[in-house]
Amino acid sequence: MSPPFGARIPMTDASSSSPRWRESLAVLFRQIGQIHFQRSALSGLAIVLALASVNLWAAIGAVFASAVALATAKFARLPRAPRYDGLYGYNAALTGAGLLSFFAPGLEVFGYLGVVSAVTALVSSRWVAWGRLPALTIQFVLAMWLALALGDALGARLSPPGCENGWTSIFCNVGQVTFISGLWPGLVVLLAFAWHDKHEALWLAIGAAFAWLASNVLDAFAPGLRAGEQLVGLAVNAALVGQGLTVFGRGVAVRVAGIVLSVPVCLALGAFAIPYFTLPFNLVTWALLIASAERKSAPQPARHAA
């Protein structure tokens, strides 16, 4: 997403002994890790392996999209530092996982994904250069809306698996950010994130836990809202808000406010039957970054934007 995630690693140059293919492979997976604000190839690899365990084609889609975005960035000679940090390809990678979770694999899907991946890499470069607000995952949201609008033109539709409405859904819904279902795959990616940054992983889990608790309370006292039916959407967005505001250095009060605010935003969009994906995360995070800007310097344009 858009400021740098984690400590920067010294850049290699033409005289480096590290093979170019190894650097490219690291960036390919780093782009996938940046879906969760993590400048980490290990986090990206954990996401791909966990996703492959439940949906091999979705994992292939994420890797394919990340590769196209990386190739586009290299061919277009986009600035190396953001490219090396994985900032140009995470929207593409998330779209790849999403498309192959909602559509059966086929030439139409991969053709659309290839175009989207190239476009998002180019748009991301301009957004990073602008640097006023992180790009987050708005390009993923727009790409998924367009895909749903195209409907049968992209092939047969699928129904992505969700999570059971129990406390274990906290871990499952962490994985649902990248369309990973199941307790153990979700727990694996959360532990990988904690290896990279325990604080970020904690707030990611806090967001998912709050959404689960809120959905149960609302179902008990306001059943008309049907919050339980939107548990995945609530949890994904609350978790990302918690992690994102942590990454951008906002205080505990702002993080809690963001997590809480994401729930009514999700419910409002859901009431109009809008497939919001991670739109609430984008809207709430942007709003709170702007609202808290006087107390915190603007985010640096080198990190990410999941």
Confidence band of 10 (pLDDT split at 50, 70, 90): very low
Q: How confident is the model at residue 15 (pLDDT cuts 50, 70, 90)?
A: very low
Specify the pLDDT at position 301.
Answer: 45
Task: Please give the model's pTM, rounded to 2 decimal places.
Answer: 0.90
User: pLDDT tens digits for 223-246?
Assistant: 999 999 999 999 999 999 999 999
Q: Which two tokens stand for residue 138?
A: 């708005």
Please name which of 197, 195, 188 lies closest in space to residue 244, comparing C-alpha atoms: 197
Residues 6+ apart with CB under 8 A from 178: 32, 35, 36, 47, 51, 62, 94, 97, 189
Find out whether 111 and 65 touch, Cβ atoms under 8 Å: no
pLDDT tens digits, 248-273: 999 999 999 999 999 999 999 999 99
Question: What pLDDT does 160 receive?
Answer: 87
CA distance 265 to 274: 11
Q: What is the pLDDT of residue 6?
A: 30
Averaged over 211-234, what is the pLDDT?
A: 96
The string of pLDDT tens digits covering residues 117-138 is 999 999 999 999 999 999 999 9
- Residue pLDDT, tens place only, 176-191: 999 999 999 999 999 9
Contact status, residue 38 vs residue 5, Cβ threshold 8 Å? yes
Residue 212's pLDDT band, with cuts at 50, 70 and 90, is: very high
Tokens 């795959």 correspond to 185
Report the distance separating Cα 88 and Cα 301, nearest Å: 12
pLDDT band per the 50, 70, 90 thresholds, residue 304: low
pLDDT for 295: 53
Q: Using the 8-state DSSP alphabet, how is residue 165 labeled?
A: S
Which 3 state secondary structure label does DSSP give 88?
Answer: coil
The proportion of the chain whose per-residue pLDDT surpasses 90, expressed as a percent, equals: 84
Sketch the domain layout of the chain as residue ranges. Answer: 20-154, 169-291
Architecture of domain 20-154: Orthogonal Bundle (1.10)
CA 213 to chain centre: 22
Band the pLDDT of 294: cuts 50, 70, 90. Answer: low
**Cβ atoms within 10 Å of 45's Cβ, excluding its own:** 18
Please name which of 267, 59, 281 lies closest in space to residue 178, comparing C-alpha atoms. Answer: 59
The string of pLDDT tens digits covering residues 83-118 is 999 999 999 999 999 999 999 999 999 999 999 999
Residue 124 contacts residue 138 (beta carbons within 8 Å): no
Name the burial class of residue 71, with classes exposed (0-12), middle (13-18) and buried (19+) by CB atoms within 10 angstroms of its CB: middle
C-alpha separations of 204 from 134, 165, 175, 197 in Å: 18, 18, 11, 11
Q: What angle do CA 148, 115, 284 make, to 5 degrees?
A: 55
